[in-house]
Structure 1
Amino acid sequence: MRLRHRSEYRRAFPDCAVPQRGTRRHMKDRQSRTQPVATKQVCLSCSLPSGSGAVEAIAPRSPRASAVDGLRSIGRAHLRISPPLAPAGRAAALPAGLACARRVHSFSSVVMDVFSVCRDTRKQWPLRPGKEFRGPRVIHARLTGMRGMTDHLTIGERVAWYRRRRGMSQEVLAGLVGRTVDWLSKVENDRIDLDRLSVIKSLAVALDVALGDLLAEPSLLDWSPDSGDRTVPALRAAITDYRQLTPLAALAQAHEPPSLTELRSEIADVWHAYQASRYGLVVRRLPALLAEAHHAASAYQGDQHTQALSLLGQTYHAAATILVKVGETDLAWIAAERGLTYAQNSGDQIVVASLLRSVTHALLSNGRYDAAAQLTNDAAGLLQSDLSQAGPELLSVYGTLFLAGSMASARAEDRTTTQAFLKEAAESARRLGGDANHVWTAFGPTNVAIHQVATAIELGDVQVAIDLGPGLDTSALPIERRARHGIAVAQAFSLWNRTDEALEALLQAEHLAPEQIRHHYLSRQLVLSWIRRQKGKPSHRLSDLARRLRVT
């Protein structure tokens, strides 16, 4: 039946203006040719900037379920009616508060954006149960603002989402990033993979969003026997505890402070857990460790106070490092900056240099590549005078600082600076004499080679990465370094369209460090792109990996 009057339209679309057209259609069931089982209502006055203007809804069997539960994205442009259809005589309707396509409403304590379906799809409606619609891209009901809910979306799909949200056309966004409309269209339709962070960052800047918004970060840290049920929120509460910044901190501690030896041992345990890629254990232990380190710094006097400040800086360094890994980039910056302050107050040169490296990584994770490269140069200038008589710890920290700077300059597409930083790091590794793990840096010739592979990928030199990466022996390094190199090798093979070898490399990395692979944006995007490329059913190994990474 047609919505003929204003009163009927307002009941169907209470938040919309006067309609241009409203329709109601019925789908015929196999058993009954007259059974009304699905409804389509069209509101053309609230069309999005893309020119689309219909809100689709399928009535599920259970009255408790949302009508949008019947819509599900499958592949690049599929629409499947997955739940059972409604009994005869029950009309499908949008849930309360989800009538207008232009507004964002709250439903069942979940924030939902209801997008419209392209007008071109209406002529192919209705569909029978189990059938698929293949046509223009359809974005149905998208849960946003919930960690883990958008892991199944590619970066290109997120670019399209934010472009429409900003009201941009493809022509405008392509012009802002210096690309063609055809390139952007292929990106949004997953026909081109966004494999370089420099390109992703330029899109984020043009869309005025954070880099993490396009990378689906921060990711949800899964509960595990190591983590328990207190993860990142507990660590955030510990870092943002106002009592640690005021004299009230001393009043909050009624017990004796930990001994410096005990505190040093606990910090070492956290770093060893990090290098073993046991993210849940690191996050669980850090809140209490931060409190103990603060207590020691406020309780001790003289030389012990100085040592306690140094240990407090190291604790914040560990917190910043793990927060970068799980995508909590803003909180990582706070931890790195605060740790650097405590390290400078301690006067410990090694810890200061180590925290400068942490700040560089925090800048990298926030997409501030030029600033990270500049900080590398500035920090190197501060340490230059002591290098002639530098010991293994200073050499390791100094060399690792240049490795971080090489990644920053590569992502800034500065090939000359990248090569200069790698050369400086290689010289420090030569002076060190071999692979080591001083100050938990895992620095040495092998780590330099790992960064040569990673920077080659960022600069688009895939052949260089293919030549160096697969044959590199990383068995002497900590698990975290080995797994990260495995992701880089998988990315290089994928860019060369050698998907089977890429999958094998990623599976080997997952065997070493499942938590690290689960929480790295690149591993999720690689698996998503491989599944989308499949013409038939994905292999069992790929499907199982996608399930473990929560991308399907």
Structure 2
Amino acid sequence: MDELPIGRRVAYWRGRRKMSQQVFADRLGKSKSWVDKVERGVRRLDKFSVLYEIADILQVDVQLLMGKDPERRTDALNCIDQVEVQEIRAALERYDSMSAYFDAAPYPPPLVDLRKAVNHAWLTYQYGRYGMLTRALPKLLRDAQAADAGHSGDDPAREAAHLLGQVYQIASSVLRKLGECELAWLAADRSMAVAQRADDPLLAGIATTRVCNAMAAMGRSRPALELNVTIANRLAPGGGNDPTPARLSVYGMLLLQGAMAAARLGDSATVDDLLTGAGEAATLLGGDHNHYWTSFGPTNLELHRAAAAVELGDGGRAVEIHRQRIQEPSFNALLPERRAHHLLDISRGFAQVGDVANAGEMLLRGDRLAPSEIRCRPIAHEVMSDVLRRTRGAPPPPIAELAEHMGVGV
């Protein structure tokens, strides 16, 4: 990126923001022809006032457009910035295991230290602290890759692969939430390959859900549905598969993610079938647990039931599930990311039925639980834009304040 002409950098970030040249030109008050000439390098960008305006529209640091490292903002604690995106990308592009094939690393990181770091990263994710996590991910990826490449012997090698597989899953999960879907898919795909070397079918199973989530986010819901169901069938309790809590959790999450993919396809019959199967697994599990960092159980099942209703366009059903089927003590026992994610889904449900006041209230509640889940996710920005557009008169001060924090115009 640093070696690109400034016009190419503008084109790159415009593409990342999914803006057409016409939309970008309209926001900038220029012609489409002007934008095209800038991006092709025919017209120079030599006015700082225009550069700053472009950076503001593209929501990037002006230094990044100029090919320089931007200063870290002390107020941007909740969201990923472009520095972290590039650092995570660079870490994912490393191939330590291939290098170690020729020249093994002499001092791989101790597994006991890496294990603690991975557990901390999972909790950081599940508490919705995405900014903190994305700043730590590049080093964690490098350390886990080095450990995987440098540890020998059956047990240490398997544990190192297991930990690396988890780090790839963490990276995939947070990148998908923040709209970096292609990087999320790359990290998830790596996690599946590493899980096979770790010789852990359940790790491979939960890695499958990360791959399918990334695929669905990129509009590939059909293969996501098929892959989730295929691997769920392989891991289903019964036969030679003991119904351990960990297996029930992974199996249940595969069915839930399959249901979400089916909902995006508008296949309500398959949604119902998969939710029924997940419900049976949740009943056998007997409560909400966090095996393999799944947060699977009866409450999470209902959260996915509501989310699937939203994807099917039935916001009224989602609101009904939220009000009648989700018990407050069980819901409050879930980790912040799960709860805030659900409130974002219910906000979408209220918006679908035209209740923008409650849609805004759900965003506010989610923001109090896990600000990054609301302020940083593209889907939350879409909901907030809808709330503002459909609110008669000036929005309530708390909504206006949150919209300002999110960078959504009032």
Give the TM-score, by structure 1 length: 0.60
Match status 1:284 vs 2:159: no
Number of the residue aligned with 1:428: 281
Number of the residue aligned with 2:96: 244
Once residues 375 and 283 of structure 1 are traced to their aligned partners in structure 2, the CA distance between those partners, rounded to angstroms, is: 28
Shift of 1:467: 1.1
Whichever residue aligns with residue 181 of structure 2, its letter is T
Deviations 1:349-392 (A, max 9, x none): 22111111111111111110001100012102221365751211
Task: Check conservation: 2:259, 2:275, Cα contact below 8 A.
Answer: yes
Number of the residue aligned with 1:148: 59
Once residues 75 and 315 of structure 2 are traced to their aligned partners in structure 1, the CA distance between those partners, rounded to angstroms, is: 33
Once residues 491 and 343 of structure 1 are traced to their aligned partners in structure 2, the CA distance between those partners, rounded to angstroms, is: 35
Alignment: residue pair count? 362
Number of the residue aligned with 1:130: none
Whichever residue aligns with residue 338 of structure 1, its letter is R
Once residues 333 and 396 of structure 2 are traced to their aligned partners in structure 1, the CA distance between those partners, rounded to angstroms, is: 33
Shift of 1:441: 0.6
Whichever residue aligns with residue 476 of structure 1, its letter is A
Once residues 79 and 181 of structure 2 are traced to their aligned partners in structure 1, the CA distance between those partners, rounded to angstroms, is: 23
* CA radius of gyration, larger in: 1
Q: Which runs of 5+ in 1 are unaligned?
A: 1-49, 57-67, 72-93, 111-141, 150-219
Match status 1:371 vs 2:219: no
* CA spacing shift, 1:458–1:311, aligned 2, 3 Å: same
Once residues 398 and 510 of structure 1 are traced to their aligned partners in structure 2, the CA distance between those partners, rounded to angstroms, is: 31
Number of the residue aligned with 1:319: 171
Whichever residue aligns with residue 354 of structure 1, its letter is I
Shift of 1:347: 1.0
Deviations 1:48-74 (A, max 9, x none): xx9xxxx99xxxxxxxxxxx97x5xxx
Cα RMSD (Å): 3.2
Once residues 109 and 428 of structure 1 are traced to their aligned partners in structure 2, the CA distance between those partners, rounded to angstroms, is: 62
Number of the residue aligned with 2:147: 296
Number of the residue aligned with 2:190: 338
**Identity of aligned pairs, percent?**
33
Deviations 1:156-200 (A, max 9, x none): xxxxxxxxxxxxxxxxxxxxxxxxxxxxxxxxxxxxxxxxxxxxx
Shift of 1:461: 2.1
Map 1:32-181 to 2 at 5 A: 71=29, 100=33, 103-106=36-39, 107-108=44-45, 147-148=58-59
Map 1:146-295 to 2 at 5 A: 147-148=58-59, 223-224=76-77, 230-241=83-94, 243-244=95-96, 246-247=98-99, 253=105, 256-295=107-146
* CA spacing shift, 1:420–1:145, aligned 2, 3 Å: farther
Number of the residue aligned with 2:210: 358
Could you tell me which of 390, 398, 401 is aligned with 2:251? 398
Once residues 88 and 349 of structure 2 are traced to their aligned partners in structure 1, the CA distance between those partners, rounded to angstroms, is: 35
* CA spacing shift, 1:403–1:251, aligned 2, 3 Å: same
Task: Check conservation: 1:399, 1:429, Cα contact below 8 A.
Answer: yes
Once residues 35 and 178 of structure 2 are traced to their aligned partners in structure 1, the CA distance between those partners, rounded to angstroms, is: 33
Number of the residue aligned with 2:70: none
* CA spacing shift, 1:417–1:429, aligned 2, 3 Å: same
Whichever residue aligns with residue 294 of structure 1, its letter is Q
Once residues 535 and 274 of structure 1 are traced to their aligned partners in structure 2, the CA distance between those partners, rounded to angstroms, is: 36
* CA spacing shift, 1:508–1:385, aligned 2, 3 Å: closer
Number of the residue aligned with 1:484: 341
* CA spacing shift, 1:146–1:535, aligned 2, 3 Å: closer
Number of the residue aligned with 2:267: 414
Instruction: Give the stretch that moved more between structures: 430-439 or 459-468.
Output: 459-468
Instruction: Give the stretch that moved more between structures: 369-378 or 490-499.
Output: 490-499
Shift of 1:252: 8.7
Structure with higher strand content? 1
Number of the residue aligned with 1:382: 234
Once residues 384 and 117 of structure 2 are traced to their aligned partners in structure 1, the CA distance between those partners, rounded to angstroms, is: 36
Shift of 1:476: 1.0
Once residues 316 and 236 of structure 1 are traced to their aligned partners in structure 2, the CA distance between those partners, rounded to angstroms, is: 12
Once residues 252 and 145 of structure 1 are traced to their aligned partners in structure 2, the CA distance between those partners, rounded to angstroms, is: 46
Shift of 1:102: 8.4
* CA spacing shift, 1:430–1:251, aligned 2, 3 Å: same
Task: Check conservation: 2:315, 2:348, Cα contact below 8 A.
Answer: no
Once residues 314 and 419 of structure 1 are traced to their aligned partners in structure 2, the CA distance between those partners, rounded to angstroms, is: 30
Task: Check conservation: 1:260, 1:308, Cα contact below 8 A.
Answer: yes
Once residues 521 and 240 of structure 1 are traced to their aligned partners in structure 2, the CA distance between those partners, rounded to angstroms, is: 25
Task: Check conservation: 1:226, 1:284, Cα contact below 8 A.
Answer: no
Whichever residue aligns with residue 544 of structure 1, its letter is E
Once residues 276 and 313 of structure 2 are traced to their aligned partners in structure 1, the CA distance between those partners, rounded to angstroms, is: 19
Could you tell me which of 530, 536, 547 is aligned with 2:387? 530
Structure with higher helix content? 2
Q: SS at 1:536's partner residue?
A: coil
Deviations 1:451-503 (A, max 9, x none): 11111111122221121114522101110000011111111122222222221
Q: Which runs of 5+ in 2 are unaligned?
A: 1-21, 48-52, 61-72
Whichever residue aligns with residue 403 of structure 1, its letter is L
Number of the residue aligned with 2:50: none
Task: Check conservation: 1:250, 1:298, Cα contact below 8 A.
Answer: no
Once residues 438 and 265 of structure 1 are traced to their aligned partners in structure 2, the CA distance between those partners, rounded to angstroms, is: 17
Number of the residue aligned with 2:361: 504
Give the TM-score, by structure 2 length: 0.80
Once residues 268 and 250 of structure 1 are traced to their aligned partners in structure 2, the CA distance between those partners, rounded to angstroms, is: 31
Once residues 424 and 516 of structure 1 are traced to their aligned partners in structure 2, the CA distance between those partners, rounded to angstroms, is: 29
Task: Check conservation: 1:309, 1:342, Cα contact below 8 A.
Answer: yes
Shift of 1:145: 11
Once residues 223 and 531 of structure 1 are traced to their aligned partners in structure 2, the CA distance between those partners, rounded to angstroms, is: 23
Q: SS at 1:475's partner residue?
A: helix
Task: Check conservation: 2:212, 2:227, Cα contact below 8 A.
Answer: yes
Once residues 109 and 401 of structure 1 are traced to their aligned partners in structure 2, the CA distance between those partners, rounded to angstroms, is: 52
Number of the residue aligned with 2:315: 462
Q: SS at 1:538's partner residue?
A: coil
* CA spacing shift, 1:250–1:280, aligned 2, 3 Å: farther
Once residues 551 and 488 of structure 1 are traced to their aligned partners in structure 2, the CA distance between those partners, rounded to angstroms, is: 19
